[in-house]
């Protein structure tokens, strides 16, 4: 396979060959000298003996890297991984002049830099995006009454439209997660070929949400199938207890967990209708679970275990994009693809 995912509870040697980039989850001390793009996610790990976990994408072939506009990236011939980190405070004055919030302008700027990079590198199709921002549910800053997640959505969509990219339909898989503090951090995978978007028949597509959820709809698909050489990868976006466009089972972590997994199962079924490799299965995926309240962890784990079995799961304490959601689950799996498929 040309792209391989690895998750380890230890620092990886800088001499490890083929590291395209990755993420470091947990609240332990940060390494300051990675030689590849690395997204730092300083959120507490739950149910883990380790303070930190590092996840990596390993790529075949010769790698080339660069850094510009606060964006570090690395690529081979067919896929690019990058991380951009921006401090909102740096955008406060310009945002006032433009009549925007600092987060809105930072989000727009981050995505603009991403699009400029992938266009320049000839790998213009976003496959998967990981967004992290502080205080995601708070109504703070210059836009009184407008939740920060909604501010982020405005900036993100402005960049999509300004770069003449679709904000509906063929859009990447993504998540948007809240941390206690820190900068806006966005990691992404991009390639030459467009992803095959996967939607969920049980849910309204996020980009078609009604205006009650904000001035701009979120710009992501429920999942995406992507095709590095000889490979088919299914990315399932951050998924929660939403049916149609409404949150269900508020204040009940176990029922929210089961509903979330019903949604993931629906995305897997839809992906299998579209896929070119062997069918994907819910128990055969890598999972990351974001838990709003640490005290809900046991209830969530008890609900999840019968549905996915003993597969490794990383639990992270973090906020979800809606204040009434108690958890969010994302997943991915990779299959070899026979020549000619």
**Residues forming the active site:** 328
The two three-digit tokens of residue 208, written as one number: 């078609």
Angle of helix 102-120 relative to helix 148-162, nearest 10 degrees, comes to 30
**Structural contact between residues 47 and 289, judged by C-beta atoms closer than 8 angstroms:** no
Burial 84-99 (b: 16+ CB within 10 A, else e): bbbebeebeeebeeee
> Residue 269: left if φ>0, alpha if ψ -120 to 50, beta else—which one?
alpha
- Please give the helix or strand (H or E) that residue 83 lies within, else none: strand 79-86
CA distance linking residue 262 with residue 69, whole number of Å: 40
Q: Match 């980009």 to its residue by tokens.
A: 207
Compute φ and ψ for 243, nearest 5 degrees: -125, 130
Name the DSSP letter for residue 221. Answer: B
CA distance linking residue 96 with residue 70, whole number of Å: 22
Enumerate residues 6+ apart whose C-beta is below 8 A from 14: 33, 34, 35
3-state secondary structure string, 224-285? EEECCCCEEEEEEEEECCEEECEECCCCCHHHHHHHHHHHHHHHHHHHHHHCCCCCCCHHHC
């Amino acid at each position: 396979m040309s792209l391989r995912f690895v998750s380890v509870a230890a620092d990886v040697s800088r001499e490890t060959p083929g590291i395209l980039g990755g993420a470091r989850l947990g609240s332990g001390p940060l390494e300051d000298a990675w030689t590849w793009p690395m997204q730092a996610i300083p959120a507490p790990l739950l149910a883990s003996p380790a303070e930190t976990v590092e996840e990596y994408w390993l790529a075949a072939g010769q790698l080339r890297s660069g850094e510009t506009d606060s964006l570090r990236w690395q690529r081979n011939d067919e896929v690019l991984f990058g991380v951009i980190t921006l401090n909102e405070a740096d955008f406060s004055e310009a945002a006032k002049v433009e009549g925007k919030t600092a987060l809105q302008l930072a989000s727009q700027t981050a995505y603009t830099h991403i699009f400029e990079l992938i266009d320049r590198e000839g790998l213009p199709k976003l496959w998967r995006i990981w967004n992290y921002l502080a205080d995601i549910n708070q109504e703070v800053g210059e836009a009184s009454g407008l939740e920060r997640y909604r501010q982020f959505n405005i900036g993100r969509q402005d960049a999509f439209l300004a770069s003449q990219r679709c904000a509906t339909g063929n859009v990447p898989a993504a998540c948007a997660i809240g941390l206690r503090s820190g900068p806006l951090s966005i990691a992404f995978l991009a390639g030459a070929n467009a992803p095959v978007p996967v939607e969920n028949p049980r849910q309204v597509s996020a980009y078609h949400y009604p205006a009650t959820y904000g001035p701009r709809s979120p710009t992501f698909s429920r999942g995406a199938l992507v095709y590095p050489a000889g490979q088919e990868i299914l990315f399932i976006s951050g998924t929660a207890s939403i049916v149609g466009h409404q949150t269900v089972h508020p204040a009940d972590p176990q029922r929210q967990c089961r509903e979330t997994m019903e949604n993931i199962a629906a995305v897997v079924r839809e992906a299998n209708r579209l896929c070119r490799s062997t069918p994907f299965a819910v128990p055969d995926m890598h999972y990351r679970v974001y838990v709003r309240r640490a005290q809900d962890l046991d209830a969530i784990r008890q609900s999840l275990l019968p549905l996915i079995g003993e597969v490794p799961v990383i639990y992270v304490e973090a906020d979800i994009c809606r204040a009434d959601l108690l958890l969010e689950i994302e997943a991915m799996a990779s299959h070899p693809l026979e020549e000619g498929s």
